[in-house]
Amino acid sequence: MKKYWAFFILAVFAYLIRFYFLGFGIYGDGNGYYVISHTILFEKKLNFDPILKNFANFKAKKHTFNRIFWKTDKTKTGVKNIPWLIGTSLFWLPSLAIISLVNIIFELNLAHFSVLYELGPGITGIILGLAGLYFLERYLNNFFKRKTILLTIVGLLFGTNLIYYIFFEPALSHQISFFIVSYLLYKSYQFKIGKPNIFIIGFLSGLLLITRIPEIIFLIPIYFQIIKDNRKKFSWLWLFLFTFGFLIAQGPQMIFQKFMYGSFFANPYFIGQKGSFNHFQLIGIYNHLFSASRGFFAWAPILLLGLIGAVGAISPTSPTAQLGVKAAREKNHKEFFLVFFAVFLFYTFLIAYWDPYVSAGFGDRFFIVSIPYLGLGLAYFIDKYWSKKTIFLIIILCLWNFLLLNQFFFNSRYLTGDKNLSFQRLVIEQFNTPLKVIRLIKEKGYNNTIYKYYIE
């Protein structure tokens, strides 16, 4: 547990530094979620005009700009259009309420639009992201040695895009989906059938659906494991409790849709408010998984080891097939991984069908929800090939990720704007960028270099 306190302190420190230099703490889609949660807390109704007015002329540290990047035309109900799901906003509400309460008790006189309120969602994202790792570790404790688990957790945090979305841009929906899947994966092992547990599974499943719709399918391997282990205990009561919890979680989204679009069932993703499905392009699968332009495995090659480990766990010729505890472990996960691969392929097809290109960000953030499963595969790989060479390989892949972070911050427009970025160019810039930074510091000074290339 101590290491998570260390991770938390490091993450908060990194987030506060970025917050200080930029003058605000929520970026990208987080702005849409924040508009909803802020309005619910302070306006007590869906009057988005005050915060939209503030965001339209937002004063950062050095300049004023518009943080609204979506159409805010009034819907037929007379409400300004905010086409996001409400789940993330609900998760952020407690942190905003706590800051508001502290403001009242200590008479800090914070204005409603103080950027300090943005720290709440950021810290919430850090906590949920690290909590996801914590519950993944507790799940792995059932199968692996401590040293294997430690290297797996460190590798996932520092060798994937988790480090960016926990340390530098934590106020998004991905941290929530990562947490929910990791927690339910942990709960699924030797799942104890009972009314509270069944209700919780349904409720959290519903929360995931109103946070990130397509990622609900990543719960299928978890459902499969629970049903397989408890198929003889099936009761219609359990199905009812699951459905009841699921529908309760859906309530806020349906009410929000009624006020926003005039119908309980007018989901913004299904009525064209948040894009629409395109014609499927095979290149889209390559782009999302392997392209140099932020492909999931290309930008986090450590997860390829997780893929190899998962394949090894289902291989009938596994060399550990006769090794007692390991044999039981692999038998437990063989069908589990087969279900995961089917889900992963379907999800990839779905995402590529929605948009064949990876959205701007550090790596393909839409696949973060698969990391708990690939983390299990990574643990299999590390356990099977444990050696100094394996430890060295994990360290090298983490260093790759740190170089990528540096390159991303130094020239994010180049990395996110070039849809045809080549691997040669990506690799060359991995090593050229630190040299450029050193040269610029010598020529222009440390402060000028940091502000121009990493902050502005």
> What is the per-residue pLDDT for 121?
98
Quick one: residue 351, left, alpha or beta (phi over 0 = left, psi -120 to 50 = alpha)? alpha
Give the whole-angstrom CA distance, residue 159 versus residue 166.
Answer: 13
Give the whole-angstrom CA distance, residue 269 versus residue 279.
Answer: 17
CA angle 368, 6, 139 (to 5 degrees): 50
Give the whole-angstrom CA distance, residue 206 versus residue 244.
Answer: 10
> What is the per-residue pLDDT for 274?
86
> What is the per-residue pLDDT for 321?
44
Distances (CA, A) of 440 to 95, 337, 429, 445, 452: 40, 48, 15, 7, 10
Who's near 114: CB < 8 A, 6+ residues apart? none
Tokens of 155: 């590798």
Strand-pair partners of 58: 65
Residue among 142, 28, 45, 136 at smallest CA distance from 88: 28
> What is the per-residue pLDDT for 272?
87
Q: What is the mean pLDDT of each run of 10 residues along the chain (456 residues)?
A: 95 96 94 98 94 95 90 94 97 98 95 97 98 98 96 98 98 98 95 90 98 97 93 86 97 97 95 82 92 95 97 69 53 89 96 89 95 97 96 98 95 79 92 93 86 76
> What is the per-residue pLDDT for 319?
47
Distances (CA, A) of 306 to 260, 320, 384, 396: 42, 17, 12, 16
Tokens of 373: 């499963």
Residue spans of the domains in the chain: they are 2-261, 387-456
Please state the three-class secondary structure of the chain as a single string.
CHHHHHHHHHHHHHHHHHHHHHCCCCCCCHHHHHHHHHHHHHHCCCCCHHHHHHHHCEECCCCEECCCCCCCCECCCCCECCCCCCHHHHHHHHHHHHHHHHHHHCCCCCCCCCHHHHHHHHHHHHHHHHHHHHHHHHHHCCCCCHHHHHHHHHHHHHHCCHHHHHHCCCCCCHHHHHHHHHHHHHHHCCCCCCHHHHHHHHHHHHHHHCCCCHHHHHHHHHHHHHHHHCHHHCCHHHHHHHHHHHHHHHHHHHHHHHHHHCCCCCCCCCCCECECCCCCCHHHHHHHHCCCCCCHHHHCCHHHHHHHHHHHHHCCCCCCCCCCHHHHHHHHHHHHHHHHHHHHHHHHHHHHHHCCCCCCCCCCHHHHHHHHHHHHHHHHHHHHCCCHHHHHHHHHHHHHHHHHHHHHHHCHHHHHHCCCCCHHHHHHHHHHHHHHHHHHHHHHCHHHHHHHHHHC
> What is the per-residue pLDDT for 317?
53
Distances (CA, A) of 307 to 234, 313, 350, 358, 372: 33, 10, 20, 21, 12
Give the global pTM. Answer: 0.95
